[in-house]
């Protein structure tokens, strides 16, 4: 009976998660269709304007030559008059053609300008930051504790996604957030970074409400590795120097070794000068994530927020990611969103979230006994039989 109920709950959860994913997929598909249609419209106009203006100009010249030639033959005008007319026409038509070309360029320029204006219209983060004042900042340097105290939150204009979330990440320890898709795990990291403000309760770093800390002071203490960590086109070295512009090559190589990426620089004759491609396409998903971790390590933040990649990693990449996480956890407070439970079985504490609520807190061994949801997640990943 109990297992039938558990199966029904599990099925309901799967349906709810897949509905959220379907909504997101529909929105993305809608935007992609709009962009595709706009691209087609631009291509059509460009395909029409170019040939049409060429045909018009050449046709006008042919007409003038035909009519003018006939009039010269009839003795109505002199050859000089015809040549002069053709020259006048040439000097008139050339700027007209350029004007048409300039118009199409103006249109695409206006499109780009609209995009820039959109970005400029995004309100600056500092605005509405009235509560932030330089109060006693948490002790700089060492790892800090993070405390969520009955935190409630909803994205602007959306329904609440977090409800009364309370737990503490003790300084210098590793806490993992697990739960089904859409449970609110990444949102918790966004709140620590103050990308959004909590709407209820409080979120504290070493006992200080983050809303009372200037954003730059707060973020100087945090390292954040996103789920889809951005990698810039350029070399391995350029990507690493973003966070530590003065770091010498041997420091960069040491950090790459720490996250199991040493082979990237070793196997290429260019070493750290090896290209990673547009958006890091020459790297695997796991390598991109570990490059982002290496970059964060170079900045040396005492608190690290890590959103593990959801994409499938092969066993080797998964083991490499686990070793990289072990390396970054040393002497740091680590709050990690874990999609792969194997990367967190030895976390000091695991927080299980479901539907924006904390449903269980404990170690892997405790949760496999006390939390049906955790047990279900662990069973799916073959961590318990």
Ligand X SMILES: Nc1ncnc2c1ncn2[C@@H]1O[C@H](COP(=O)(O)OP(=O)(O)OP(=O)(O)O)[C@@H](O)[C@H]1O
Cα separation of the two ends of the chain: 20
Q: Which is nearer to ligand X, 144 or 352 (CB)?
A: 352
E-strand spans in the chain? Answer: 146-154, 160-169, 174-178, 200-205, 208-209, 222-225, 303-307, 333-337, 349-354, 357-362
C-beta of 381: minimal distance to ligand X in Å? 14
Which residues of this protein are in contact with ligand X, per CB under 6 A? Answer: 20, 155, 158, 161, 179, 181-187, 337
Active-site position among 34, 200, 308, 366: 308
Between residues 298 and 374, which has the closer beta carbon with respect to ligand X?
A: 374
The strand ranges marked E within 58-216 are 146-154, 160-169, 174-178, 200-205, 208-209
Which of 322, 374, 324 has its CA nearest to residue 353? 374
Q: How far is the CB of 380 from ligand X (least distance, A)?
A: 14
For the chain, how many residues are written? 385
Minimum distance from CB of 203 to ligand X (Å)? 15
129 vs 228, which CB is nearer to ligand X?
A: 228
Question: Which of residues 173 and 310 has its CB atom nearest to ligand X in the complex?
Answer: 310
At closest approach, how far in Å is the CB of 195 from ligand X? 9
Neighbours of 309 (CB within 10 A): 23
- Check: CB of residue 266 under 8 Å from CB of residue 295: no
Helix (H) or strand (E) holding 251, with range, is helix 249-258
Catalytic residue status for 117: no
Tell me the catalytic residues.
308
């Amino acid at each position: 009976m109990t297992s039938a109920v558990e199966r029904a709950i599990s099925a309901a959860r799967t349906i709810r998660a897949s509905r959220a994913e379907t909504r997101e997929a529909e929105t993305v598909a809608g935007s992609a269709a709009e962009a595709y249609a706009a691209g087609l419209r631009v291509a059509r106009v460009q395909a029409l304007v170019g040939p049409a203006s060429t045909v018009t100009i050449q046709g006008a010249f042919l007409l003038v030559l035909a009519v003018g030639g006939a009039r010269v033959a009839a003795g109505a005008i002199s050859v000089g008059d015809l040549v002069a007319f053709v020259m006048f026409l040439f000097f008139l038509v050339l700027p007209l053609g350029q004007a048409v070309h300039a118009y199409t360029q103006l249109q695409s320029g206006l499109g780009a300008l609209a995009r820039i204006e959109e970005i400029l219209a995004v309100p600056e983060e500092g605005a509405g930051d009235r509560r932030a004042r330089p109060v006693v900042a948490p002790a700089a340097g060492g790892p800090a504790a993070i405390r969520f105290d009955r935190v409630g939150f909803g994205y602007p204009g959306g329904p609440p996604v977090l409800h009364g979330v309370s737990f503490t990440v003790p300084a210098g320890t590793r806490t993992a957030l697990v739960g089904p898709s859409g449970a609110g795990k990444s949102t918790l990291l966004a709140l620590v970074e103050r990308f959004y403000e909590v709407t209820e309760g409080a979120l504290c770093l070493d006992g200080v409400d983050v809303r009372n800390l200037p954003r730059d002071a707060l973020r100087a203490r945090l390292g954040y590795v996103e789920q889809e960590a951005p990698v810039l086109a350029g070399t391995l070295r350029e990507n690493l120097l973003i966070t530590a512009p003065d770091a010498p090559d041997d420091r960069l190589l040491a950090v790459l070794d720490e996250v199991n990426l040493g082979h990237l620089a070793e196997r290429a004759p260019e070493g750290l000068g090896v290209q990673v491609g547009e958006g890091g396409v020459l790297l695997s998903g796991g390598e991109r994530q570990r490059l982002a971790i290496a970059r964060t390590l170079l900045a040396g933040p005492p608190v690290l927020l890590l959103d593990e990649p959801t994409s499938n990693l092969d066993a080797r990449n998964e083991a490499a990611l686990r070793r990289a996480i072990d390396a970054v956890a040393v002497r740091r407070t680590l709050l990690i969103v874990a999609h792969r439970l194997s990367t967190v079985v030895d976390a000091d504490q695991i927080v299980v979230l479901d539907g924006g609520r904390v449903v269980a807190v404990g170690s892997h061994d405790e949760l496999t006994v006390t939390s049906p949801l955790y047990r279900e997640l662990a069973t799916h990943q073959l961590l318990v039989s």
